[in-house]
Amino acid sequence: MVSEHASPLAVAGGVDSGGQNVHVAALSAALARSGHDVRVFTRSDSVDLPPRVATVDGYTVEHVPAGPAEPIAKDELIDLMPAFGQYLGERLAAEPADIIHAHFWMSGVAAMIAGRQLAIPVAQTFHALGVVKQRHQGAADTSPPQRMVTESSLCRSVDRVIATCTDEVFELRPLGLPVDRTSVVPCGVDLDRFRPEGPAVPRGALPHRVLVISRLVPRKGIEEVVRACAGIPDVELIVAGGPPESELATDREANRLRAIAAQLGVLDRVIFTGRVPHEDMPALIRSADVVAHTPWYEPFGIVPLEAMACGRPVVASAVGGLTDSVVSGVTGLLVAPRDPDQVRQALQALLDDPALREGFGAAGLARAHRRFGWDRVAAQTESVYRRTAAGSSISRCRRWGGCGERSRGRAAARTRGLRTADPPGRPLGDGSGGCPRRRWPVAGGGQRGQCRAGPAPDRGTGGSVRR
């Protein structure tokens, strides 16, 4: 696994940490439970971090020395990816891998540097796309200028893209992603931790509680929930996420939202908790009548799954992966993004009807167990890994008498049964046997190649998301 900015050891809830941290940690743990050797490579952002950490969940985290060992904003990391990729290649040459799974576009740049150097197949999960971010944020988008062209290049160069929802596939196709190199595997939820039974955080004096769990950034749509709750009497709104509680007073978005709540006369009913440890989230969710998740856009969204696993109904925006996870009228209600009046109506309908809340909660719980447990997600991911390794451009060139690039790997998520039988000592990437290079841009200039043959079609059906 390559997750350049989102360490599985980091606390979710900061500006640059959230669902991807949880996704990488949980998927790695589930694959390790299945008997695989999983290593997660993430950038070292502190001099106090050890080079390697063996986690209690069975996978190893390796801190990559790329750039200064200090926090750097996510959007400023692109220039460090060549160094990250070079280090990754050195480590995988010493301890081989069957497949590299890159998380986020910058991780894909680093993964391609190492993967093509060592002839290891690369799978890519974007988690978010520059074209979508630009569409919704416009001038406020702080992404590096080369993001969209690099994402398009990755679509054409990696062996497989693992999308997290069907909506993402529609966004990826115009970027040049071949349909036969696409799989859909959803995010998951920890069903042992998130369940209806267990303690709940004490409630206040008001009869109803609405909960938002989110990073404090405008695109998460918290403002819409604040405005919606202003039109509903006798409800308190809990906003969990962002910096630690002690730092909320200096947080720009927290102060902006407080000012809106004060203007609407509901500041006394809107409570900001600051960052909440992930292990404390189930008790907070159980304390709520409804969980609201109304971003402007959302690649997938783990919060609705956690709410469903706790038996709580969800009000969510009808965007991105939320249309895959939340079934409107069954497990919750979907609303238009950036529409506080629709949010208010949906919340009011649920708060006024205890039986409806109970029914939606029960249906959501069943859906979470049926489709979104991490062990199920890991099994789907493993199936995609196997097809990717068997049908990658490396395997096809070898099968057709092409360049014979030698795969040295087991896995950055090492997968059993993927060993190839190519003869030892064949040169890496020498282009022998008529294997012309396909070029694609990487940060800082330079080029990496991939066999023209491309990967084999995916004829499997695993990993799809169905209603």
**Per-residue pLDDT tens for 275-311?**
999 899 999 999 999 999 999 998 888 999 999 999 9
User: For position 17, what pLDDT does the model report?
Assistant: 56
User: For position 393, what pLDDT does the model report?
Assistant: 58
User: For position 11, what pLDDT does the model report?
Assistant: 56
In this prediction, the residues of the chain whose per-residue pLDDT falls under 70 are 11-18, 392-467
Write the Ramachandran bin of 442: left for phi over 0, alpha for psi from -120 to 50, otherwise beta.
beta
What are 345's strand-pairing partners? Answer: none
Q: Token pair 């974007």 is at which residue? A: 126
Q: Which helix (H) or strand (E) holds 393?
A: helix 393-399
The alpha carbon torsion through 227, 195, 370, 100 (nearest 10 deg) reads 90
Q: Which domains does the chain have, with CATH numbers?
A: 19-187+377-448 (3.40.50.2000), 208-371 (3.40.50.2000)
User: For position 454, what pLDDT does the model report?
Assistant: 40
Q: Which helix (H) or strand (E) holds 53?
A: strand 52-54
Q: Give residues with Cβ within 8 angstroms of 94, minimum separation 6.
A: none
Distance CA 436, CA 403 (A): 9
CA distances from 140 to 52, 133, 135, 143, 337 (A): 36, 9, 10, 9, 18
Q: Give residues with Cβ within 8 angstroms of 205, minimum separation 6.
A: none
Distance CA 160, CA 421 (A): 22
CA distances from 184 to 353, 377, 465 (A): 36, 10, 7
Distance CA 261, CA 81 (A): 41
Percent with pLDDT over 70 in the chain: 82
Distance CA 115, CA 301 (A): 29
User: For position 426, what pLDDT does the model report?
Assistant: 29
Distance CA 335, CA 193 (A): 28
Radius of gyration of the chain (CA): 23
Strand positions, DSSP E, 158-303: 160-163, 182-184, 208-213, 235-240, 270-274, 290-293
Enumerate long-range contacts of 248-256, CB under 8 Å, 24 or more apart.
248/272, 248/274, 251/216, 253/216, 253/217, 253/218, 253/222, 254/216, 256/218, 256/223
pLDDT for 181-230, tens place per residue?
Answer: 999 999 999 999 999 999 999 998 999 999 999 999 999 999 999 999 99
The answer, as to whether pTM is greater than 0.85, is: no
- Beta strands at 37-43 and 440-441: parallel, antiparallel or unpaired: unpaired
Return the structure tokens found at 110.
Answer: 């680093």
What are 334's strand-pairing partners? Answer: 316
Distance CA 335, CA 320 (A): 12
User: For position 102, what pLDDT does the model report?
Assistant: 98
Report which of 44, 16, 38 is spatially closest to residue 25, judged by C-alpha positions.
Answer: 38
Distance CA 341, CA 329 (A): 18
CA distances from 66 to 15, 85, 445 (A): 21, 9, 17
Return the structure tokens found at 387.
Answer: 């097809």
Are the CB atoms for 372 and 305 separated by under 8 Å?
yes
